[in-house]
Structure 1
Amino acid sequence: MRTSSRPKGAIVASLAVSALVLAACGSSEDGADANGEVKLTINVYGDNFSLPDNRELYDEYEKAHDNVEIVENRSDFGTHHQNLQARLTAGSGAADLEVVEVGQVSGYIGQPDKFVNLTEHDVDTGQWTESTVQRASTPDGGTLIGLPTDIGGLAMCYRTDLFEQAGLPTARDEVSALWSTWEDYLDVGNRFTAKVPKVKWFDAGGHVFTGIIGNDEETFYDADGELIVERNDAVRDAWDLTVGAIEDGQSAALPEFTPEWNTGFQQGQFATITCPAWMMGYIQANAPQTKGKWDIATIPGGSGNWGGSYVTIPSQGKNVEAAVDLAKWLTAPEQNIKLFKAIGNFPSQRSTWSQPEVADFTSEFFSDAPAGKIFPASLEDAPVQVYGPQSGVIGQTFAGALNSVEQGTNPDEAWDKAMSDIKAAAGDG
């Protein structure tokens, strides 16, 4: 699922519920009752498994398992992951199933005893790429704490009507040819804002930053798990390039998953957005009146990934076997294909990518863009990125720091504060 720079995504603020409410919605107390009835709770963030009828997948499962009732608790990204860690530490209160975002999952790998080891439950890990499985596995590969749901891929969504106003090409192949690099993309941005000064080129600097570092294997951590963010030239170069675009006036300065961001989509306040597959569903849900005004081009650099989630089973649960069965079903190709077609979450199972339902899928909302081909193409040469325990937090820190630059903070001061906050979060100085 979605993650912002995030963390997928992929995080819908309007769907947030308070931590107080969630505290009352933990795991089932007693497993199956005297009649064999099982209540399974699942805690999710954003729009995981959220078909137009949010209960559709759950209802389908319950129909085939008439002794099972599924109760979903939905919260915002930060609250969800904070609550999960608190409940793992306390040893109680977690749901039977907990969805964890890809940038956060590495933070739980060091606590394998707190999760069910899914390698012991007849899971075919070969259906996913090795790197996808590796991210949710202990270093020795002996424990798998989560089953992958979706994967983001990466493209560039753009407003064809605004491109036309700027005298830019609107056909997706011609647009893709405008930017083989991120420098090219930002050069086109300067051309755009010179022609259409009332509209910004992109929504927020944090998303551009996330896209740029999506082409690098090592960003915040190296392969040995060492925090390298401050001395990594790739990260600093991405920062400097993004800051330069902000200073050129290209950013709409709209923090992600805020009402202001939603308004930006609705009113056409920016012309492009770094676009993982799940972003399609977000745009459709929040700006339905823009149908037919969007299209999808290749991401600068040609590859990258942003987003994805895992379904985990906390070991403290009373309904482990039933929870594992539901987790396997929710992450099966059939369910992932339904989610892709409905809300854009691209399935993580490689076998689905060549199936006609996925490979031939075009999005009417996005001017019939061949989404089923664009997103897997972006994954073909994408590096297997190294994640560390605080990767998700670090991404959020950079998004916040760049937003502060958009609000007038000196870039060097914003960088220094980000480094201080990151070291504090990572326990490194």
Structure 2
Amino acid sequence: MKKGKFLLISGLVMVLIFMLAACSKDSNADGKNEEVTLKFWVFGATNYDELAKEYEKENPGVKVKVKTSENDDHHNGLFTALSAGHGAPDLAMIEIDQLDRFKEAKDRFVNLYDVGADKVKDKYLDWKWEIGESEDGDFLYGLPTDIGPKAMFFRTDLFEKAGLPTDPDKVQEMIQSKDDLIQAGEKIKEKTGKPLVDSMEMAYRAVIDGATESFYDEKGNLLVENDGNAVKKAYDLAVEFNDHGLVGDYDMWTPEWGNAVNNGDFAIEMGAAWLKGWMKDNAPDASEKFRVATLPKELAGNWGGSYIAIPKETKHEKEAYKFAKWLTSPDNQLKSFKSDAGLFPSSPEVFDMEDFKNIEDEFFGGQKTSQYFADAAKDINFVYKGSKYKPTQDEVLNALKNVREGADPDKEWKEAVKRMKKLQDR
């Protein structure tokens, strides 16, 4: 063989080897595609472990490793990893109150509009989708998971002792405003000796969770000293409830609070849909003693919910989005709702499904509670919260706790505003 011909053949062989190597980049020695592993960080109670197993069966070659942490640990760990530029997962849940904090790290996330999210936009509530976008609407940080529409969880035994109706629709007719609620609370206090609500926080949330403004505007200006500001209205309502003797001294998630829910030591929770799951697991003695009614519109709102985001660091952008889209689809949102986690759907398509409408809650005496929350979900509005929402709100809650212990409300508010201004300047 001539030398030139030999070199030509050798060159073609080398090219062929490189081409085969490139084609087999994701293949193993048996010619099968290598497994793609997606790291998925979540917080709190979800059914995502079970849904991930289902997805793996439907998508051979894909593994989803779900890591569950407590809320603060999860978000702090995610923020640290994103800031460092390494160690972030392929997908991560982000809670709605934390989202604006992460929006400041826009360059660390995949814009889900770039991978086709605009095609599923119409499957979700408008306000929920809008919160997940950038200010100009060109960037989508995450796909919507659950929401937290609020309703009134009320103790039928305490209402009955106070001479009040116990049928949910009649309770709704009776309580059309905050003044109606205060009047009902005074009757309950008089006849049973029990407070209307568990805490100053719960009274405060009656207004703030449904407000169309919060602590900051989108330019970072603090709004709390403006006339008619929602935060001040919420603060004043909590003080008013306390002045009428309608507030208990229980901090949510403490053992004392759990016992109070279980034993009926207060009459109502103005709680989100996810509270149902907690009550079923942690307040067995309260079974069949609670019912759900719609809150007055001025006291309704959203408390909680999350998004599924994809950090830019991922090497599996398309696979991660495909899983996120599947996980948050209407059918799988229904599964998440029917699971023990009870994640309330952000897709209104679910609200019309028979499996959704016909669920009977044994804990609530067989009541079909789903529609009460679905109706509330449609009346919720977009609100900008800002990256410092959580620490700023903590200042208000600390002030209210001091008021509950006897401090002067006006003085506590002024001191809280000073602390909020310091946070703004950081």
Tell me whether the two structures share a fold, i.e. TM-score over 0.5: yes
Find 1:377's aligned residue among 375, 378, 394: 375
Q: Partner letter of residue 383 of structure 2?
A: Q
Distance 1:427 1:125 in 2: 36
Pick closer, same or farther for the CA change 1:394–1:359 going to 2, 3 Å: farther
2:127–2:381 CA contact under 8 A, matched in 1: no
Instruction: Give the C-alpha shift of residue 33 in structure 1.
Output: 9.3
SS of the counterpart of 1:249? coil
Gaps of 5+ in 1: 1-30
How far is the alpha carbon of 1:224 from its aligned partner? Answer: 5.4
Q: Distance in 2 between matches of 1:270 and 1:89?
A: 44
Pick the aligned partner of 2:104 from 83, 92, 110: 110
Query: What's the CA shift string for 1:382-419, capped at 9, x where partnerless?
Result: 33323322233333443343233323443234323432
- 1:231 matched to which residue of 2? 226
Identity %: 34
Q: Does residue 307 of the first structure (1) align with residue 304 of the second (2)?
A: yes
- Deviation track 1:56-91 (CA, whole Å, cap 9, x = no partner) reads 222212222333333322222222222222221111
Structure 1 residue aligned with 2:343: 345
How far apart in 1 are the matches of 2:220 and 2:349?
Answer: 31
Q: Structure 1 residue 162 and structure 2 residue 158: aligned?
A: yes
Residue 263 of structure 1, CA deviation: 1.9
Q: CA deviation at 1:284?
A: 1.2
Q: 1:315 to 1:389 in 2, by over 3 A?
A: same
Cα separation, partners in 2 of 1:42 and 1:406, compared to 1, 3 Å: farther
Count matched residues.
393
- Report the Cα distance in structure 1 between the residues aligned to 2:359 and 2:227, rounded to whole angstroms: 39
User: How many Å separate the matches in 2 of 1:176 and 1:66?
Assistant: 50
Q: Which amino acid aligns with 2:302?
A: N
TM-score (norm 1): 0.84
**Secondary structure of the equivalent of 1:177?**
helix
Identify which of 116, 119, 122 aligns with 1:122.
116
* Whole-Å separation in 2 of the counterparts to 1:388 and 1:299: 27
1:332 and 2:326 are equivalent in the alignment? no
Aligned position for 2:385: 387
Structure 1 residues 217, 338: CA separation in 2 closer, same or farther (over 3 Å shift)?
same
Unmatched 5+ stretches in structure 2? 1-24
Using the TM superposition, name which of 154-163 and 129-138 deviates more. 129-138
1:95 aligns with 2:92: no
| Letter of the 2:348 counterpart | R
Aligned to 1:291: 287
Residue of structure 1 in register with 2:250 after alignment: 254
Aligned partner of 1:416 in structure 2 is 414
Provide the residue aligned with 1:354 in structure 2. 352
Report the CA distance between 1:223 and its aligned residue: 6.0
Shift of 1:168: 1.7
Deviation of 1:176 (Å): 1.3
Q: 1:423 to 1:98 in 2, by over 3 A?
A: farther
Asked if 1 retains the 8 angstrom alpha-carbon contact of 2:218 and 2:386, the reply is no
Compute the displacement of 1:282 (Å): 1.5
Q: Once the 2 structures are TM-superposed, how far is the Cα of residue 97 of structure 1 from its aligned partner? A: 1.5
Deviations 1:173-224 (A, max 9, x none): 1211222112221221121111111x32111221221122334312323465
Q: Report if the CA contact (8 A) 1:255-1:403 is conserved.
A: no
Q: Give the distance between the partners of 1:312 and 1:382, measured in 2 at CA.
A: 23
Deviations 1:350-376 (A, max 9, x none): 221112122333322112333221112
CA distance in 1 between partners of 2:102 and 2:152 (Å): 31
Question: What one-letter code is carried by the residue in structure 2 that aligns with 1:249?
Answer: G
Bigger fraction of residues in helix? 2
Q: How far is the alpha carbon of 1:157 from its aligned partner?
A: 0.4
Structure 1 residue 84 and structure 2 residue 89: aligned?
Answer: no
Aligned-partner residue type, residue 310 of structure 1: Y
Q: Is the CA contact (8 Å cut-off) linking 1:135 and 1:387 kept in structure 2?
A: no
| Structure 2 residue matching 1:167: 3-state secondary structure | coil
Q: Which amino acid is 2:319 matched to?
A: A
Q: In structure 2, which of residues 43, 51, 72 is the aligned counterpart of residue 57 of structure 1?
A: 51
Question: How much has 1:330 moved relative to structure 2?
Answer: 1.5
Residues 82 and 229 of structure 1, relative CA distance in 2, 3 Å threshold? farther
Give the conservation status (yes or no) of the 8 Å contact 1:295–1:367: yes
Query: After the TM superposition, which residues 16-27 of structure 1 pair with which residues of structure 2 at under 5 Å, given as runs?
Result: none
| Residues in 2 aligned to 1:289 and 1:349: alpha-carbon distance in whole angstroms | 33
Determine the C-alpha separation between the residues in 1 that align with 2:26 and 2:172.
55
Measure, in 1, the Cα distance between the counterparts of 2:44 and 2:408: 32
- State the SS of the aligned residue for 1:170: coil
Q: For the Cα contact (< 8 Å) 1:206–1:400, is it kept in 2? A: no
Whole-Å Cα distance in 2 between the matches of residues 409 and 221 of structure 1?
Answer: 26
- Looking at structure 1, the residues matched to 257 and 248 of structure 2 have their Cα atoms a distance apart, in angstroms, of 9
CA distance in 2, matches of 1:61, 1:359: 26
Larger radius of gyration: 2
Q: 1:63 to 1:425 in 2, by over 3 A?
A: farther
- Residue 183 of structure 2 corresponds to 187
Distance in 1 (CA, whole Å) between partners of 2:220 and 2:179 is 30
What CA deviation, in whole Å up to 9, does each residue of 1:324-356 have, x standing for no partner?
Answer: 222112111111111212343220012211121
After TM superposition, the score normalised by the length of structure 2 is: 0.85
SS at match of 1:273: strand
Residue number among 196, 215, 220 corresponding to 1:220 in the alignment? 215
Look up the SS of the partner of 1:59 in the other structure. helix
Task: Report the AA paired with residue 208 of structure 1.
Answer: A
Amino acid at match of 1:328: K
1:137 is matched with 133
Report the residue type matching 2:276 in the other structure.
M
- 1:174 is aligned to 170
Are 2:174 and 2:180, in contact at CA under 8 Å, matched by a contact in 1? yes
Determine whether 1:147 maps to 2:143. Answer: yes
Q: 3-state DSSP class of the match of 1:125? A: helix
Contact 1:203-1:253 at 8 Å conserved across structures: yes
The one of 36, 40, 44 aligned to 2:38: 40
1:228 partner letter: L
Structure 1 vs Structure 2 CA RMSD: 2.3
